[in-house]
Amino acid sequence: MTASARAPTVVSRFLTTVSLFHYAARLLALVALLAAAPPPQLACAGPVLGFLEEFTGTSTGLWSGGTPISNPGTGGYLGSGDGYLLLANTAPSQFGTVANGDEYVGDWTAAGITQVRVWLNDVGNADPLDMHFSIGDGTLNFWQYNIGFHPPLHAWGEYVVPLTGGANWTRIRGSGTFAAALTSVDRIHLRHDPPPFAIIPNPPDPIAADAGIDHVLLTNGLVGVDPFEPAVVHPVELAPPYPNPSRGPVSLAVRAPDAGVIRLEIVDLAGRTLRHVELADLGSGPRTWLWDGLDATGRRVPAGYYRVRATGAAGGMSRPLARIN
């Protein structure tokens, strides 16, 4: 091969070697730059439509509170091998738990969340629980759902908390509207709190009790909702008393998803049952009791605030009722 033929090959090899050195130098510079840069920060996901907390294994998530909590790792709404959050007070004390993990903190309205669904279970002895859901900024603007939940004994019951409108809510701390509270949530709370509701920092009524929490779903009533949920019973539903406030008789309508006797009670603010009735087993469907405003002795109850409690074998709920002169 002549010198003139070899020249382009030598030049080509020289240029290739230069390119490789140039590429290697750039790669080393990039590695040094990445090493010097601070680690990336993960953005908070915030509340997400369809988020579901299942308490898998023996995890208690980011739930805490004054009541001792644990996860037995079995006995959840799916049965054997399914964990759940267990709250247990062995002596009378305030009863409840709070969650403030990233999955609950932020703007629920922007996320499109209009409903919370939660499964509850009276897991030990029969306890007179009146569980209420709360949401908002725990320091500045915090609201509690007026309707109380009575978990079924040794069974999982599904309870629905609608977030549309503040008519069935009471602010228990701070100032501001219910709508504003939903845009700046820093925690959610489930606690036993018979009325009158304890305004924070006052503690709610003490109780020795135990209860299970499972399958917490943030939804709009459609996303993540399974109409054929396994191992879940549907508690008695109590319609708003009518009229309320009232001077005369009050219509109390209930709906039982399943057959069985339904117990209706009129309860005063001290927790005493003033009157009760048991509605006969008529199968599933609606039933109504017209309360005449009298207690069990036949005397008219005085003006004031009361609770109507409806329970069946599958649990139930309570609603506020006002009597006026």
Asked if domains 52-232 and 237-323 share a fold, the reply is no
State pLDDT tens for residues 113-164: 999 999 999 999 989 899 999 999 999 999 999 999 999 999 999 999 999 9
pTM of the model: 0.80
pLDDT of residue 137: 97
State pLDDT tens for residues 68-110: 999 999 999 889 999 999 999 999 999 999 999 999 999 999 9
Domain 237-323 grouped into CATH 2.60.40.4070: yes
pLDDT of residue 232: 64
Q: Which CATH architecture has domain 52-232?
A: Sandwich (2.60)
Q: How confident is the model at residue 286 (pLDDT cuts 50, 70, 90)?
A: confident
Q: Tell me the three-class secondary structure of the chain, residue by residue.
A: CCHHHHHHHHHHHHHHHHHHHHHHHHHHHHHHHHHHCCCCCCCCCCCCCCCEECCCCCCCCCEECCCCEECCCCCECCECCCCCEEEECCCCECCEEEECCCCCCECHHHHCCCEEEEEEEECCCCCCCCEEEEEEECCCEEEEECCEEECCECCEEEEEEECCCCCCEEEEEECCCHHHHHHCECEEEEEECCCCCCCCCCCCCCECCEEEEEEEEEECCCCCCCCCCCCEECCCEECCCECCCECCCEEEEEEECCCCCEEEEEECCCCCEEEEEEECCCCCEEEEEEECCECCCCCECCCEEEEEEEEECCEEEEEEEEECC
- Break the chain into its structural domains and give their ranges: 52-232, 237-323
**Mean pLDDT for the chain?**
85
Q: How far is CA 263 from CA 2, 23, 293, 325, in A?
A: 110, 81, 17, 27
pLDDT of residue 230: 60
pLDDT of residue 229: 65
